[in-house]
Amino acid sequence: MTPYELLWQPFADFAFMRHALVGCLALALGCAPIGLFLVLRRMSLVGDAMSHAILPGAAIAFIVYGLSLTAMSIGGLIAGLVVVLAAGLVTRATRLKEDASFAAFYLVSLASGVLLVSKWGSNVDLMHILFGTVLAVDDTALAFLAMVASATLLVLAGIYRALVVESFDPEFLQSMGGRGAWAHFAFLILVVLNLVAGFQALGTLMAVGLMMLPAASARLWAKELPALLGIALLIALLAAYVGLLLSYHADLPSGPCIILTAGIAYFISLAAGTRGGMLRSWLGRAHLEA
Amino acid sequence: MSHAHHHAHDQHGHHGHSHVPATDAAIRLDNLTLTYHRHPVVHHVSGHFLAGEATAIVGPNGAGKSTLLKALVGLLKPNHGQLDLGGLKPRDIAYLPQQAAITRDFPLSVQDAVLLGAWRGAGWFGRISRGLRQQAQDALARVGLAGLGERPLDELSAGQFQRVLFARLLLQDARVILLDEPFTALDAKTTADLLAVVAGWRAEGRTVIAVLHDYEQVRSHFPQTLLLAKECIAWGPTTEVLTPARLARANGVAVSWDDDAPVCHRDSLPPPADTPHDHALHDH
């Protein structure tokens, strides 16, 4: 197999592969920075929770309108925002911490979603919603993915400074009259939006992987925020491209291939990362603490 | 001491403060009650923080010290009573949270963390001018971290990190500075250096209010003390407040903390330790 056949021919030959590639790259552009902020805010599991929370919305839309991307996206968006708002209200009004209130709502939400799909849909439909079909990304889906990626990057640019400060020292920002809550809320909306965009291509469960794995990997390489963002983006984009190739050549499902590729990047970072990687700390110990 | 006429007073009821000239008080509390998640934490505290003076807030754990600071900086609304900032605007009050509330391994450079002190001027989008960067460097030099601006925060020791937060306070240039346990778990050298910064603020006529645990620090650097144990046990010159009898009383109140108390009970305060000393100081 020539390098051309290995690395590019699938995209040259098949429109569906080109669609899938552009869609996944767009998704990676939005998901990587979102994931990084989730890690920095110690909200890694909130992304997971939210991915489950959008399920009933998508399911209801699916039952009513059939397999319509627009309807399912709007349904998922509404369900996600309801959970964000409800969890936020609970956190402010009771002594439950944010992760606990999120967990409670997403579990209820997930159970309702599974119930809805199994009662009125079929197992195939459920698998489709949970794991997506990146190879069925059509023009509408592509436009939606591109819109979400653009909106994510623009909004992040706008709230960047407030979001960084709010992640670092929320009470300080509040004491300065900094309205960090707005940045926080805008950020949560972006999380939901990217997960909804992701579930068509990768499925609700897999979309979280494209957020968290590149972000967690980047933490092991860089020490400043711009570098972290760059590395997370690079890993996410590479994972999308390599994962799709892997899925094509080995005839494997594309979503898991993309996430596992990101997973490999994570394990490499764990081992070789220059900041807290295992090799580095073992070698460093031997030298410094002798 | 310039404010010798303010004797420590034990609070059993609500007092007027007509004998205090208005210019002396930076912040007045009148029958202030604060709750945290609907739990009363600070009860019916009245008194005033002297302007241009350093006041320590001491008391047992759970005494409401941090809660009171949060109310002063506007993070908490009073449930009862009045909090009179006497014309101070929010920008005039700087606040240092407890270190535990801050993410220490955050990927920011030291200089960027110090520049946060300029948030009010820069906001979400404002430019960081060359002059501002110079101010940040000067502030770092003043806390003993000259030339470390490019370091990432997560490479700092706990002491260096607290120095960075003090540099951030310097950049805020506020008339009133609130510190929540600023020297907890710090080495002796850092504590001494940062206490010197506090002394500098006093010399510049700024008001410093700090939650502290170390009575020696309080005695040597904070002329005024508020002894708090949910209620105000005593408030006045440090030498008159930090007496064994009063400290024992503060601890007694803290022990009686009832986690399920639904409402404020004025009479939950144990009877005062009735020493002659106490009566001598009682100025009402």
* Tally of CB atoms within 10 A around A6: 11
B195 touches A: beta carbon within 8 Å = no
Q: Which residue has the higher pLDDT, B267 or A186?
A: A186
Which one of A171, A182, A187 makes the best mutation probe of the B interface by having the most chain B beta carbons within 10 Å?
A: A171
Confidence of residue B18 (pLDDT cuts 50, 70, 90): very low
Asked if A223's CB is within 8 angstroms of B107's CB, the reply is: yes
Q: Which residue has the tokens 């998704």?
A: A27
Q: What is the DSSP string of B31-50?
A: EEEEEETTEEEEEEEEEEEE
Mean pLDDT of B184-213: 93
Tens digits of per-residue pLDDT, B34-84? 987 667 788 888 888 999 999 999 988 888 899 999 999 888 888 888 888
Residue B186 has pLDDT above 70, yes or no: yes
Mean pLDDT of A87-97: 77
Cβ contacts of A170 on chain B, cutoff 8 Å? 101
Tens digits of per-residue pLDDT, B203-261? 999 999 999 999 999 999 999 999 998 888 889 999 988 888 888 888 876 545 444 44
Cβ contacts of B90 on chain A, cutoff 8 Å? 176-177
Separation between Cα atoms, residue A271 and residue A281, nearest integer Å: 10
Asked if A224's CB is within 8 angstroms of B108's CB, the reply is: yes
Asked if B73's CB is within 8 angstroms of A175's CB, the reply is: yes
Q: What is the DSSP letter of B143?
A: T
pLDDT score recorded for residue B56: 94
A contact residues 165-204, partner B, Cβ 8 Å cutoff = 165, 167-178
Q: How far is CA B143 from CA A27, B118, B190, B195, B197, in A?
A: 45, 17, 9, 10, 7
* Residues linked to residue B177 through DSSP beta bridges, in sequence order: B94, B208
pLDDT score recorded for residue B274: 39
pLDDT score recorded for residue A162: 92
Tens digits of per-residue pLDDT, A156-211? 999 999 999 988 988 888 888 778 888 988 999 999 999 988 877 777 678 899 99
Tens digits of per-residue pLDDT, A16-42? 899 999 999 999 999 999 999 999 988
Mean pLDDT of B259-269: 41
pLDDT score recorded for residue B7: 53
Tens digits of per-residue pLDDT, B93-151? 999 988 877 878 899 999 999 999 888 877 787 888 888 999 999 999 999 999 898 99
CB B26 within 8 A of CB B186: no
Mean pLDDT taken over chain A: 86
Q: What is the DSSP string of chain A?
A: --HHHHHTHHHHH-HHHHHHHHHHHHHHHHHHHHHHHHHHTT-HHHHHHHHHHTHHHHHHHHHHH-S-HHHHHHHHHHHHHHHHHHHHHHHHHSS--HHHHHHHHHHHHHHHHHHHHHHHS-HHHHHHHHH--GGG--HHHHHHHHHHHHHHHHHHHHHHHHHHHHHH-HHHHHHTT--HHHHHHHHHHHHHHHHHHHHHHT-HHHHHHHHHHHHHHHTTT-SSHHHHHHHHHHHHHHHHHHHHHHHHHHT--HHHHHHHHHHHHHHHHHHH-TTT-HHHHHHHHHHHT-
Separation between Cα atoms, residue A192 and residue B103, nearest integer Å: 25
Domain boundaries, chain A: 3-289
Q: Considering CB atoms only, which of A94, A176, A224 is closest to B107? A: A224
B166 touches A: beta carbon within 8 Å = no
In angstroms, the separation between the Cα of residue A8 and the nearest Cα of chain B is: 37
In angstroms, the separation between the Cα of residue A111 and the nearest Cα of chain B is: 30
B88 touches A: beta carbon within 8 Å = no
Output the six-digit token pair for B139.
């502030």
Mean pLDDT of A71-97: 84
pLDDT score recorded for residue A191: 93
Residue B13 has pLDDT above 50, yes or no: no
pLDDT score recorded for residue B273: 41
Task: Tell me if the domain spanning A3-289 has CATH number 1.10.3470.10.
Answer: yes
pLDDT score recorded for residue A274: 86
Question: A178-183: which pairs have CB atoms within 8 A and are 24 or more residues apart?
Answer: A178/B119, A178/B123, A183/A159
pLDDT score recorded for residue A84: 85
For chain B, the distance separating the N- and C-terminal CA atoms, rounded to the nearest angstrom, is 21
Q: Which residue has the tokens 């941090």?
A: B66
Tens digits of per-residue pLDDT, A209-222? 999 999 999 999 99
Residue B271 has pLDDT above 70, yes or no: no
Q: Give me the half-sphere count of Cα atoms (radius 13 Å) on the Cβ side of residue A263.
A: 10
Q: Which of A50-59, A189-198, B3-12 is predicted most confidently?
A: A189-198
Residue A140 has pLDDT above 70, yes or no: yes
- Single-letter amino acid code for the residue at A259: I
Residue A61 has pLDDT above 50, yes or no: yes
Tens digits of per-residue pLDDT, A124-139? 666 666 666 766 778 8
Describe the strand order of the beta sheet including B207-211 as a list of residue ranges. B93-96, B176-180, B207-211, B54-58, B224-229, B231-237
A164 touches B: beta carbon within 8 Å = yes
pLDDT score recorded for residue A200: 72
What φ, ψ does residue B39 adopt, rounded to 5°?
-95, 125
Mean pLDDT of B153-172: 93
- Single-letter amino acid code for the residue at A109: S
Q: How far is CA B141 from CA A77, B17, B137, B158, B166, in A?
A: 50, 42, 6, 18, 11
Residue A105 has pLDDT above 70, yes or no: yes
Instruction: Indicate the range of A107-116, A129-138, B56-65, B272-281 predicted with least confidence.
Output: B272-281
Buried b (16+ CB within 10 A) or exposed e, A72-102: bbbbbbbbbbbbbebbbebbeeeeeebbebb
pTM for this predicted structure: 0.81
In 3D, which of A205, A188, A191 has the Cα closest to residue A258?
A: A205
CB B31 within 8 A of CB B82: yes
Q: Give me the half-sphere count of Cα atoms (radius 13 Å) on the Cβ side of residue A244.
A: 28
Separation between Cα atoms, residue B235 and residue A22, nearest integer Å: 68
**Residues A263, A268, A272: CA angle, nearest 5 degrees:** 150
Mean pLDDT of A90-106: 78
The SS3 assignment for B198 reads helix
B124 touches A: beta carbon within 8 Å = yes
